[in-house]
Chain A
Amino acid sequence: NAGVMQNPRHLVRRRGQEARLRCSPMKGHSHVYWYRQLPEEGLKFMVYLQKENIIDESGMPKERFSAEFPKEGPSILRIQQVVRGDSAAYFCASSPPHSRTEAFFGQGTRLTVV
């Protein structure tokens, strides 16, 4: 049973480009969370999704950021027109339907905007 898989592990984008980060939850998990971690900081919640539904996006910037978790395939965090301040590690976590408390994290995607 593979853990939470994120790809790519490292992503470099020029200012103004789009970044797409993928997350495949653990098998049987129907809840996906995205977090952002700035250097020397803790993780900050961005968005919580279930299949085909955004449950809570209170931590997501209103512009340029979007997330989806389609019926088939991985969850995608999309950042349009990236700026230097978007450089961070983005972590995905998943949890089973019966225990939203227990979140398992992926290895993260490190986005660098140059």
Chain B
Amino acid sequence: SQQGEEDPQALSIQEGENATMNCSYKTSINNLQWYRQNSGRGLVHLILIRSNEREKHSGRLRVTLDTSKKSSSLLITASRAADTASYFCATDGTGGSQGNLIFGKGTKLSVKP
């Protein structure tokens, strides 16, 4: 089964609106990361949040982590058409082997101009 599960699977919003994506995971983690993938391209690292952190900001991105609920959220404020992409969360898993990441299936975000 998936370690990380994002929801919703797909999200369509208008430019200027905020987009919120959620991720749930099953095992203990050291950290959780969010990546963006444009269609047919590689992954771009957005932000890393450690298990002892609750919130982190980077530009228009805000990530929260609730280890008691084993969940994280990614908020993109004032979205732009260029934010259209798939967004993945990835966890390492403290019980996992040394460094490989476990990805969810992603949220496909569409921002309409």
Contacts and interface: CB of A to CB of B under 8 A. Distances in A.
Interface string B58-94: 0000000000000000000000000000001010100
Contact residues of B: prevailing secondary structure: loop
Contact of A43 (B31, B41, B43, B44): B43
B101 to A, nearest CB: 6
Contacts, number: 64
A40 B104 CA distance: 11
Interface string A36-63: 0000111111001000000110110000
A95 B100 CA distance: 10
A102 to B, nearest CB: 7
Given A42-B105, A93-B101, 14 more contacts: A33-B100, A35-B103, A40-B105, A44-B103, A45-B100, A48-B97, A55-B97, A59-B100, A91-B42, A91-B43, A101-B30, A106-B42, A108-B41, A108-B42
